[in-house]
Structure 1
Amino acid sequence: MKREFTVFGIYPVIEAIKSGKSLDKLYVIKDSQNPKIDQILQLVQESDTTVVEVPVEKLDRLTRSNHQGVVATLSPISFISLDDLVENSLEKPTPGLILVLDQITDVRNFGAIIRTAESTGVDGIIIQKKSGAPVSGDTVKTSAGAVFNVPICKVDHIKDAIYYLQGSGFTTLAATEKAQQDIYTEDLSGSVALIMGSEGRGIAPSVLKIVDTQVKLPMLGKINSLNVSVACGVCLYEIVRQRL
């Protein structure tokens, strides 16, 4: 973990929060009885910070110094609310395009996806607070700085975000090898929210049940799936192609 994006110790973390720093993740020692750590948890309760309870061994690995039971990773960006993201997208003269990532965990894939999203005019990216890749210095590097140009929204639950997008007029499109039709048969000229799944298990079954449409990419070789960042790029550029 890069030091310039890490704060540890009770009072340094409290000061970072009070000074307005945007925290990506907050690691706290499991079963803490320290009232100061409770104070930190209260300070981030209404924020986009992902809170993870971990054993002391995990904190020891994150920093070799005296962490006092708490380690925070700073985000290089500020996050946008779901309301603002959708509103800003719909206010544009062109059809909306939002990317939803269902627990992408590899920071290199995450950064590559952000880079492609910026290149294809994506209005913003929605990620889940827990179980996803962090927005860190590595994200900045792998996205070639594109992370500063694409609004990112953190939500508690992907399903709730999808319901909100559907209610706002977006067609929710899940890219999955389980689909019956390929993406080239789908009309993507309207406002679209493209959902991409994690590297291992893909899109969660509970999410697939509620999307408007499922599409796949034709696979002509022996391998039955693509790297998620590659698949995302192909899907986004098909949307661009239909809108040109």
Structure 2
Amino acid sequence: MAGKSDFLFGIRSVIEAIHSGKEIEKVLVKKGLQGELYEELIETMKEARISWQTVPVERINRATRKNHQGVIAFVSAITYQDMENTLIDVFEQGKNPLVLVLDGITDIRNMGAIARSAECAGVDMIVIPEKGGAPINADAVKTSAGALQHIPVCRTSNLFRSVDYLKKSGLQIVAATEKGSEDYTKVDFSGPTAIVMGAEDTGVSGQILKICDAGARIPIVGAIGSLNVSVAAGVLIYEVVRQRSL
């Protein structure tokens, strides 16, 4: 469970936090909750496109024993950026864009480690889905050695459409996949590129794979069939750095 500084509780407190523009990762709502204030909360979350989950009260009690009124909201430790505006800024600065897309990375430690490698290598932004990914909380920021507070992170409600936008904006889309047809060192990373890293267990989603320009494969010669996703991300990111420094 996140640290105390990562959440707030109480129906009115959560409503006001949403109205004030706080970055809310998700909200837990006690099963069976009713009333006008509850209905207002649900409507507010729908309008702000904030995800919530209905859970037994015991789960909320594990986070706080204070008067939570059956509602607790987890607050993001960073401020998310707009992907389209961030990409425009990168082009206007005359940079050769390198974007990292995380398709369902659910482990907080992996998220932090990937962000740390990305920031060190000069990645221009990280794109993550609103749902189905690891929360960016104090633990993630700590694991990233603070990198998540320095690299732009863009959260999207539709990852496929966002990847398609990057492609239409002139970026090569490269998926990291064990089924890739090319050794990662053979992929040309010299131009604008977005690297897609898939979920720890299922990899890059099939829908996104269909629009990728290349599938990069990291050779495995040992008995274990795959690398940890954060290690694989570091390998690919620094291959981009190597190629672009030649």
TM-score (norm 2): 0.92
- Where 2:62 maps in the other structure, the secondary structure is helix
User: Take 1:6 and 1:225, find their aligned partners in 2: how far apart are those partners?
Assistant: 35
User: Take 2:32 and 2:178, find their aligned partners in 1: how far apart are those partners?
Assistant: 41
**Offset of residue 26 of structure 1:** 1.8
User: Take 1:65 and 1:226, find their aligned partners in 2: how far apart are those partners?
Assistant: 42
* 4+ aligned runs moved over 6 Å, structure 1: none
Over the residues paired in the alignment, what is the CA RMSD in angstroms? 1.8
**Offset of residue 21 of structure 1:** 2.3
Name the structure 2 match of 1:27.
Answer: 28
Q: More deviation in 168-177 or 200-209?
A: 200-209
Equivalences for 1:28-177 in 2 at 5 Å?
28-30=29-31, 32-47=33-48, 49-177=50-178
TM-score (norm 1): 0.93
8 Å contact kept, 1:89–1:97: no
User: Take 2:52 and 2:241, find their aligned partners in 1: how far apart are those partners?
Assistant: 37
User: Take 1:168 and 1:93, find their aligned partners in 2: how far apart are those partners?
Assistant: 15
Mark the CA change 1:193 to 1:30 in structure 2 (over 3 Å): closer, same or farther: farther
Identical-residue share of aligned pairs (%): 44
> Which amino acid is the alignment partner of residue 214 of structure 1?
G
**Offset of residue 48 of structure 1:** 6.4
Unaligned runs of 5+ in 1: none
8 Å contact kept, 2:182–2:214: no
User: Take 1:212 and 1:35, find their aligned partners in 2: how far apart are those partners?
Assistant: 51
Q: More deviation in 228-237 or 71-80?
A: 71-80
User: Take 2:153 and 2:196, find their aligned partners in 1: how far apart are those partners?
Assistant: 14
> Which amino acid is the alignment partner of residue 97 of structure 2?
G
Q: More deviation in 219-228 or 20-29?
A: 20-29
User: Take 2:170 and 2:230, find their aligned partners in 1: how far apart are those partners?
Assistant: 26
- Where 1:62 maps in the other structure, the secondary structure is coil
User: Take 2:31 and 2:124, find their aligned partners in 1: how far apart are those partners?
Assistant: 38
Residue correspondences, number: 244
8 Å contact kept, 2:115–2:148: yes
